[in-house]
Structure 1
Amino acid sequence: MRAVLWSFFGVRKRQSYIDDAGSLNPLAVVVAGVLAGAIFVIVLVLIVHWIVGRASA
């Protein structure tokens, strides 16, 4: 999960990437990426609903 979160952020040391590339299970990375992406989208939708709700009140 840590490797996926660092990739979302976009900052990564080359040596850490090389270490992770050799030791991670590709299926686990895909599952973690989909979960992290879904959580990110849900949080954005909740923030938008909160802001729109406050603006119309």
Structure 2
Amino acid sequence: MTEKKVSFLHSMKAVFWAMLGVRANKGYDDDVKKLSAKQVIIAGLIGVAAFITTLILVVRFVIGNVAG
């Protein structure tokens, strides 16, 4: 019983939608069957790092415009 390996892009998409909280049950079930824990952890860390970086850049931009 061999499962198809899922691309890293697919795991990033799954984590992105899960972070937004809009995963359908069917999509969630498919992801649980196909994704490995390693893929989800790495994709989650990358997603969180991108989110924090975006927040920092937005705050710096807003503070720069208000102060300048």
Task: Give the Å deviation of 1:12.
Answer: 1.2
Match of 2:15 among 4, 11, 15: 4
Unaligned runs of 5+ in 1: none
Instruction: Provide runs of 4+ in structure 1 moved above 2 Å.
Output: none
Deviations 1:6-55 (A, max 9, x none): 10110111011001101101101100000010010000000000000000
Which structure carries more helix by proportion?
Answer: 1
Give the distance between the partners of 2:26 and 2:39, measured in 1 at CA.
20
SS of equivalent to 2:43: helix
Give the distance between the partners of 2:44 and 2:23, measured in 1 at CA.
16
Q: Which amino acid aligns with 2:14?
A: A
Pairwise mapping of residues 1-57 of structure 1 onto structure 2 (< 5 A)? 1-57=12-68
Unaligned runs of 5+ in 2: 1-11
User: When the two structures are superposed, what TM-score results if normalisation uses the length of structure 2?
Assistant: 0.81
